[in-house]
């Protein structure tokens, strides 16, 4: 308990005192949490209990997903070969927003097409496309930043986000990325009615991450996706 007290800064917003490279003082050499090991999960604070989870709220049920900012979660999500399915209540598909989202998933999971063809089909379904005249490097470079490593990847989209990669090796990984993006960001359109904008957001992030992944490797994809999530998804200002 003395170690816990020593590593908490008691201020207006109490928080752990992070160490080198912003590492939590309670992570041991194996990357495991000493609090859980010694005291059990019930002793975790709210942010540790929630991280990296996010929630979609509906009348009668709540969806819970894992965010890509956690390395382990990113690897689980993006290296999965099977098509993603959701464990939904039996009457969930009666909701128009859920039913339409299932249509989006079906287009993205149609493996008879390449991932870029599926994205084109997705845009056709919503009747919208990304604007041609936007300099996306300037947009992303102008956002609030947390990690200098993000700058390295941002520099890779100075010439645009049209990836020249034709190798389809990572199609399934990019499919999982797009499903994640739709799952996490689409359903809030029931509040703001920005249906096409939220689908376009998913397409934009996919294109940006793919253009950044010059090596077309799963290892680099995992790192870029992790950085993207931390830089964009955990900042309401950046999302907006």
Task: List, for residues 174-222, the tens digit of each pLDDT value.
Answer: 999 999 999 999 999 999 999 999 999 999 999 999 999 999 999 999 9
Check residue 233 and give its pLDDT. 93
pLDDT tier for residue 8 given thresholds of 50, 70 and 90: confident
Where are the alpha helices (H) located in 46-194, listed in sequence order? 46-50, 71-78, 96-108, 115-126, 136-141, 149-154, 171-185, 189-192
Check residue 1 and give its pLDDT. 64
Q: Which of the 8 DSSP states describes residue 133?
A: S
Check residue 235 and give its pLDDT. 84
Q: Higher pLDDT residue, 3 or 214?
A: 214
Flag whether pLDDT at 164 surpasses 90: no
Q: Average pLDDT of 138-161?
A: 94
Flag whether pLDDT at 48 surpasses 80: no
Alpha carbon distances (Å) from 71 to 13, 79, 224, 225: 26, 12, 11, 9
Check residue 106 and give its pLDDT. 98
Flag whether pLDDT at 30 surpasses 90: no
pLDDT tier for residue 45 given thresholds of 50, 70 and 90: confident
Burial label, 237 (beta-carbon count in 10 A; 0-12, 13-18, 19+): exposed
User: What average pLDDT does the chain have?
Assistant: 91
Integer Cα distance of 223 and 234 in angstroms: 16
Residues near 120 by Cβ (< 8 Å), separated by ≥ 6?
A: none
Q: Which long-range contacts (CB under 8 A, 24 or more apart) does 79-84 make?
A: 79/173, 79/218, 80/172, 80/176, 81/172, 83/109, 84/109, 84/176, 84/179, 84/183
pLDDT (tens digit, 9 = 90+) per residue, 87-133?
A: 999 899 899 999 999 999 999 999 999 999 999 999 999 999 999 89
Q: Average pLDDT of 26-55?
A: 82
Residues near 46 by Cβ (< 8 Å), separated by ≥ 6?
A: none
Check residue 160 and give its pLDDT. 94
How many Å separate Cα 31 from the centre of its chain? 22
Integer Cα distance of 92 and 163 in angstroms: 37
Cis peptide before 52 (omega within 30 of 0): yes
- Model pTM greater than 0.75? yes
């Amino acid at each position: 308990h003395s170690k816990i007290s020593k590593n908490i800064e008691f201020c207006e917003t109490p928080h752990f005192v992070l160490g080198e490279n912003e590492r939590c003082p309670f992570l041991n050499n194996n990357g495991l949490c000493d609090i859980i090991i010694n005291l059990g999960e019930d002793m975790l604070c709210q942010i540790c209990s929630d991280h990296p989870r996010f929630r979609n709220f509906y009348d009668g049920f709540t969806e819970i997903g894992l965010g890509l900012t956690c390395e382990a979660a990113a690897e689980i999500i993006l290296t999965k070969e099977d098509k993603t399915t959701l464990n939904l209540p039996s009457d969930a598909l009666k909701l128009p927003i859920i039913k339409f989202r299932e249509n989006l998933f079906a287009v993205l999971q149609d493996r008879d097409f390449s991932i870029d063809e599926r994205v084109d089909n997705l845009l056709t379904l919503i009747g919208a496309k990304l604007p041609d005249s936007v300099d996306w490097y300037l947009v992303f470079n102008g956002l609030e930043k947390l990690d200098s490593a993000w700058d390295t990847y941002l520099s890779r989209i100075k010439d645009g986000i049209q990836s020249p990669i034709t190798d389809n090796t990572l199609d399934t990984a990019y499919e999982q990325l797009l499903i994640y993006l739709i799952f996490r960001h689409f359903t809030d359109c029931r509040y703001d009615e920005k249906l096409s904008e939220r689908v376009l957001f998913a397409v934009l992030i996919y294109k940006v991450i793919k253009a950044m992944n010059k090596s077309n490797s799963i290892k680099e994809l995992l790192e870029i996706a992790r950085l993207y999530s931390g830089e964009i998804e955990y900042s309401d200002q950046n999302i907006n």
